C-alpha cells in the first residue's frame, strides 16, 4: 500500500495563524470525482474533528469558484513539477485571484487518486477537518495532477468570497 501525505492551513487575511496539521494515511480507491460535492455532503451532516473532539454543526455549502480553481490547479502543477508538497504562500495566491477574500484556507494532499478518499482522509485529520467544516468558507476551488513522485497531488483552496 502507498502512503498519503496531507497538509492543512487556514488563516485570516490579516495574519498567518489558525490551523496547521500534517498526517499520513494509507491510500486506496481510484478516480477523481467531484471533491467539492463530497465536501458539501460532509459539511451538511456536521462533524466532530478527531484530535480535539471539536464538534461542528451542519454548515453552508461551498460554491465552486473558477478563480480559486485556477489558483488550485496552478499550485498543484507547481507542486507536482517540484516533486514535493508545500503550501508556499496560499494567502498571496488567493488574494491575487480574489479581491477581499476574507478568511482563506488550503488543504493539500499527496497520493490519493479518488476524490472520496481525499475527502475522507482530510476529514480524519484535525486540521483538515476544521478547514473543511469552517463556516467562514463559502467558495472553493480544487486542483488535481496525477503522477509525479507521490502518484498525484491535490489542492483545495477556500475563501470567504471570491
Q: What is the pLDDT of residue 147?
A: 85
Residues 54-92 pLDDT 10s:
889 999 999 999 999 999 999 999 999 999 899 999 999
Q: What is the pLDDT of residue 112?
A: 64
Residues 107-157 pLDDT 10s:
998 876 667 777 777 777 778 888 999 999 999 999 999 888 888 899 999
Rounded CA-CA distance 115/102 in Å is 26
Residues 35-56 pLDDT 10s:
898 899 999 999 888 777 788 9
Rounded CA-CA distance 70/76 in Å is 10
Q: Which among 7, 9, 14, 39 is positioned nearest to 105, based on CA atoms?
A: 9
Amino acid at each position: 500500500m502507498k502512503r498519503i501525505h496531507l497538509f492543512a492551513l487556514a488563516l485570516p487575511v490579516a495574519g498567518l495563524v489558525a490551523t496547521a496539521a500534517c498526517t499520513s494515511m494509507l491510500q486506496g480507491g481510484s478516480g477523481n470525482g467531484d471533491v467539492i460535492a463530497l465536501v458539501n455532503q460532509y459539511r451538511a451532516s456536521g462533524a466532530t474533528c478527531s484530535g480535539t473532539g471539536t464538534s461542528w454543526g451542519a454548515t453552508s455549502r461551498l460554491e465552486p469558484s473558477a478563480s480559486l480553481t485556477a489558483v488550485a490547479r496552478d499550485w498543484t502543477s507547481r507542486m507536482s513539477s517540484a516533486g514535493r508538497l508545500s503550501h508556499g504562500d496560499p494567502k498571496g495566491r488567493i488574494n491575487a485571484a480574489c479581491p477581499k477574500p476574507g478568511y482563506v484556507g488550503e488543504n493539500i494532499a499527496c497520493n490519493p487518486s479518488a476524490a472520496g478518499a481525499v475527502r475522507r482522509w482530510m476529514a480524519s485529520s484535525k486540521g483538515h477537518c476544521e478547514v473543511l467544516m469552517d463556516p467562514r468558507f463559502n467558495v472553493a476551488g480544487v486542483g488535481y495532477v496525477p503522477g509525479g513522485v507521490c502518484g498525484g497531488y491535490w489542492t483545495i483552496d477556500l475563501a470567504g468570497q471570491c
